Amino acid sequence: MEEIQILNQEGFQVFKTLGQGAFGRVFLSYNKDIGLIAAKVMQSKVFDENEWDAAGRLQQGEPIPFIVQFKSAKNFGEYVVILMEFANLKSLDNIIKKNYALTPGTLRAIARQLFEGLRLIHSRGLVHRDIKGENLMMHCPPGSNRVIVKIADFGLVKLQGGGVQQTMLMSGQWELCYSNLLDMNIQQKRLQFQIYKNQCGRGKLSVQNLLLTTYSGIY
């Protein structure tokens, strides 16, 4: 497989495939200088440098603990390799599909981290636009005995700009569209209120309700 050969030539040992799509794959890899990493190998023709620019904006200022951190990107002609932080637990989507029973306290912790991650993303002038279970990763820092929610996949991110937003497209072109999003502060309050309402009305908050609440607050 050509993607694995590229990683091997760069000094990475590939353990397994973490995920794949129409235009690329993500591999769990190891490098003695970097450590364990998620290496996304995608076709150059669909790589959007604007997505990388958005990643750079997210790295400015204080680190955001609730997003998957980007490390570096390199073009190899036909392919581009993006190195990202490896989230070592399953995604929230896996929890939903397995129908795990989580305590209200655990769900509140997930919600708090997700909302804080969104708030910090918004504070950098960006809107994620693709919040779903598959893009919410769980990570346990070694030796910490803690679980952190990590927001991943910024391929559909929007840049805010007054009343107009710029949408990042896979083609690399900019499409201007008028924002129909709520003010970010109001949006956060709405999300919190809906979660509180679900908790009071049903006695507990399911993972499905958590995601539905998030969707309804963003769009």
Is the pLDDT at 217 greater than 70, yes or no?
A: no
Least confident of 35-49, 78-92, 100-114, 181-195: 181-195
Select from 2.60.40.10, 3.30.200.20, 3.40.50.300, 3.90.1570.10 the CATH code of 2-55+69-84. 3.30.200.20
Q: What is the mean pLDDT of the chain?
A: 75
CB 87 within 8 A of CB 139: yes
Query: Taking the domains of the chain in order of start, what are their residue ranges?
Result: 2-55+69-84, 92-218
Query: Domain 92-218, what fold?
Result: Transferase(Phosphotransferase); domain 1 (1.10.510)
Can you tell me the distance from the alpha carbon of 118 to that of 126, in angstroms, rounded to the nearest whole number? 9
**pLDDT tens digit string along 75-86?**
998 999 999 999
**Number of neighbours of residue 44 by Cβ within 10 angstroms:** 12
In this structure, what DSSP letter does residue 67 have?
B
Residue 150 assigned ligand-binding role: no
Is the pLDDT at 120 greater than 80, yes or no?
A: yes
Is the model more confident about 153 or about 215? 153
- Phi and psi (nearest 5°) for 218? -90, -35
Is the pLDDT at 157 greater than 80, yes or no?
A: no
Can you tell me the distance from the alpha carbon of 45 to that of 186, in angstroms, rounded to the nearest whole number? 39
State the pLDDT at residue 174.
32
Beta pairing, strands 174-178 & 164-168: antiparallel
